[in-house]
Amino acid sequence: MGKVYSDDIRLRVTKLVLDGASRRSAARRFAVSESSAIRWAARAADEGSPAPRKDRVPRRGVAD
């Protein structure tokens, strides 16, 4: 499973991208994956916030 990032880091990366930085450089600056920076910027553009969606049902673990 991937690392869970705080809303603060998501906002910082997204703000940097919106201010003109590339997604790659924003990811490097905050030590997150490029795919995360791309996904957060796209979600912010579509939904207005890079925060994770609250309406998703958590996946069940293998042992459940």
Spatial separation of the C-alpha atoms in residues 17 and 59, rounded to whole Å: 30
**Number of other residues whose CB lies within 10 A of the CB of residue 30:** 15
The alpha helices in 3-63, defined as continuous H runs, are: 7-18, 23-30, 34-47
Predicted TM-score (pTM) of the model is 0.74
- pLDDT, mean of residues 14-27: 94
pLDDT tens for 36-59 read: 999 999 998 888 888 777 776 767
**Number of other residues whose CB lies within 10 A of the CB of residue 1:** 5
Burial class of residue 53 in the structure, from the number of CB atoms within 10 Å of its CB (0-12 exposed, 13-18 middle, 19+ buried):
exposed
Domain ranges for the chain: 7-47
